[in-house]
Each structure stands twice: as C-alpha cells, then as structure tokens.
C-alpha cells in the first residue's frame, strides 16, 4: 500500500533521513519508532506530500507522491506533530472549513461529519472554541479532521505527546479502533505505545533504519537470553559456588536478604525457569519466587541504538 524506496532528505549539510526503504501493508498499524530528531517527522511529511525528498521515491497505492501529491493527499489523513489547528474556531467551524478546503460535496460532508464527531467523541464540545479545550480534546479534533474525508491511510505523528495519563489511554483506544478499518502509521518515541498498538515496528536512529520487523522478531535480534527473577532460601556462598561450576550460565546477579537470596539469572540455552527449578531441587533450596523477565521494546530499542 505504501512503498518507500531509498529515501533521503538533507537540510543544508544535515542529513535528516538517510537512504531508508520500507513497505506498509494494507490494514496494519505500523509503529515508526525513534528518539527525538531521528527523522520520524521528516519521513512522515515526505510520505504525506508536504515535503520533497532530496533522493528516493514514495508510492501510495502505486501513485508517485512527487508526481501527484494532491492525489495522494486525498488518500491520507494526517495528524501532524503538535496538531496545528485554528484555536479561535470551534470544532464545528474547523471541520466545516476543512471540508471546504477538501472540496467535499455537501451531503457527503454532512454524513462524514456526523460519523467522525461520533467516532472521536467530540459531540459535547462542538461549539466551544478549540483554544478552551483540553489537549486531549484538541487531539480528538485533529483526528476528526484527519478522518473527515474517509482516507484509506492514517498517519499519526506523536499523537499522545503532552497528554495526561487518562487522555493517553483515550487516544490509544481510539487509534486501536481506527486500526480496524484503516492502515495506520504511528510515529512516536513512546515505546509502550508501539508495544500496545502495533504488531510490526520500524526503529529509526540518526536518519537510518536500525531494525524492522514484528515485535517478537525485534526481540530475537537483540540476542538477549530470557532472565529469571527469583527469591530462594539458600546460603549465598553455597549458591555462588554451584553457579560458578556450571558452564551454561549466561549471567547472574544476587544479593543477600537475611537467610534468603534475591537475584536474576539467565542461561545460554533452554528454559531458565526449568533449569533454576531443577537446580534448587537438587540442592534443597526452597523457592519463594520464580518468574520470567521478558525483555520489552525499551530494552531492545536501547540495545539497537547503542550498537549503531
């Protein structure tokens, strides 16, 4: 549905995007993840036709963005970073204005207007100035604008930045619902957002793609072994002696808590829980806590960025 090939963008001598290529499939929510100034917003602006690349091509539904940017814009709903909307207008006035800009036929506008205000939950604030609304409601108005012309694709650039926790949950739930009907690119630096909403992610750093794939695939790329956290009743010296005798221990850390040992351990192969459980049984150490520690996207991201 979206095909990005060898895309680069310079601002003077600064390379904001460095020869990146990727595809977005129809009906998926793709996480476009990276720290601030990684090149995320620049890439989104090029895909939406608001910025020309220095090199490379972007095709949306087989339409070249460079050759036919206006045609591409009809297929895309774009919520830009910081959501630039007219704060002196009411949501009703703003959406009417956007309908006129998009030259929507009156009956179609009326139909779409009713749907988007319902889907984004802004019915109760339609006649209040946007400048008086909370940031959460302003983001909802921005999403309503992006959805007004019923686009096939939604591009959301940092949609939850600056929101309070309750507003973040509301917007994430809304994005999840929209993802059932639309193709969505979610550009963000918020790692849990990608884990919650996206099956596949692209990680960009200093303008380059450093990793791409499903979340589980990205976990495998870090080559980090599963760790087990534990609390057992055992002598620390005895425990360390037994661990050092083994050749399959990847890493471990422990501390004494009176008659107990609290720690974390990983092994080179096998299920770490089973290995540690068998070791405890063999040495008659009593287990009080034993559970896996899953490496989340945050650890994956930090490791991949460090490698770059």
Per residue, what are the HEC states of the chain? CEEEEEEEEEECCEEEEEEEEEEECCCCEEEEECCCCCCHHHHHHHHCCCCCCCEEEEEECCEECCCCHHHHHCCEEEECCCCCCCCCCCHHHHHHHHHHHCCCCHHHHHHHHHHHHHHHCCHHHCCCCHHHCCHHHHHHHHHHHHHCCCCCEEEEECCCCCCCHHHHHHHHHHHHHHCCCCEEEEEECCHHHHHHHCCEEEEEECCEEEEEEEHHHHHHHCCCCCEEEEEEECCHHHHHHHHHHCCCEEEEEEEEECCEEEEEEEECCCCHHHHHHHHHHHHCCEEEEEEEECCCHHHHHHHHHHHC
Distance CA 192, CA 198 (A): 10
Q: Is 144 helix (H, G, I), strand (E, B) or coil?
A: helix
**pLDDT tens track, the chain, 308 positions:** 899 999 999 999 999 999 999 999 998 999 998 888 889 999 999 999 999 999 999 999 999 999 999 999 999 999 998 888 899 999 999 999 999 999 999 999 999 999 999 988 899 999 999 999 998 899 999 999 999 999 999 999 988 877 788 888 888 888 888 888 899 999 988 877 888 899 899 999 999 998 899 877 776 665 556 789 999 999 999 999 999 999 999 889 999 988 899 999 988 888 888 999 999 999 999 999 998 876 556 666 666 666 55
Which helix H or strand E contains 258, and what residues bound it? none
- Dist. CA 280–CA 230, nearest whole Å: 11
pLDDT at position 82 is 80
In the beta sheet, which residues pair with residue 249? Answer: 267
Q: H helices then E strands: how many in the chain?
A: 11, 14
pTM over 0.75: no
In the chain the domains, ranked by start, together with CATH numbers, are 2-221 (3.40.50.300), 224-295 (3.30.70.120)
Residue 177: how many other CB atoms lie within 10 Å? 11
DSSP state of 106: H
**What confidence score (pLDDT) does residue 297 get?**
62
Per-residue pLDDT, 304: 66
pLDDT value of position 168: 85
Integer-rounded Cα radius of gyration of the chain: 25
Query: Helix, strand, coil proportions of the chain in percent (round to 5)?
Result: 40, 30, 30
What are 206's two structure tokens?
């200093």
């Amino acid at each position: 549905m979206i095909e990005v090939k060898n895309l680069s963008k310079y601002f003077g001598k600064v390379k904001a995007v460095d020869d990146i290529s990727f595809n977005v499939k129809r009906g998926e929510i793709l996480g476009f993840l990276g720290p601030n100034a990684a090149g995320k917003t620049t890439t989104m602006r090029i895909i939406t036709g608001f910025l020309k690349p220095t090199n490379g091509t972007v095709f949306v539904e087989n339409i070249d963005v460079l050759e036919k940017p206006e045609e591409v814009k009809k297929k895309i709903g774009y919520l830009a970073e910081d959501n630039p909307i007219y704060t002196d207008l009411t949501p009703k006035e703003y959406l009417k204005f956007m309908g006129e800009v998009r030259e929507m036929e009156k009956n179609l506008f009326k139909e779409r207007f009713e749907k988007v205000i319902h889907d984004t939950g802004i019915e109760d604030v339609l006649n209040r100035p946007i400048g008086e609304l909370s940031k959460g409601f302003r983001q909802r108005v921005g999403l309503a604008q992006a959805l007004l012309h019923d686009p096939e694709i939604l591009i959301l650039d940092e949609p939850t930045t600056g929101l309070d926790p309750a507003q973040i949950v509301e917007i994430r739930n809304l994005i999840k619902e929209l993802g059932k009907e639309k193709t969505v690119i979610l550009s963000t630096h918020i790692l849990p957002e990608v884990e919650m909403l996206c099956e596949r992610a692209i990680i960009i750093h200093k303008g380059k793609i450093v990793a791409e794939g499903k979340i589980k695939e990205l976990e495998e790329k870090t080559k980090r072994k599963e760790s087990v956290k534990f609390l057992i009743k055992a002598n620390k010296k005895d425990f360390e002696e037994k661990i050092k005798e083994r050749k399959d221990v990847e890493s471990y850390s422990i501390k004494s808590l009176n008659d107990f040992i609290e720690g974390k351990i990983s092994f080179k192969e096998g299920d770490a829980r089973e290995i540690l459980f068998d070791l405890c049984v063999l040495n008659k150490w009593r287990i009080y806590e034993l559970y896996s520690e899953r490496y989340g996207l945050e650890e994956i991201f930090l490791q991949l960025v460090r490698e770059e």
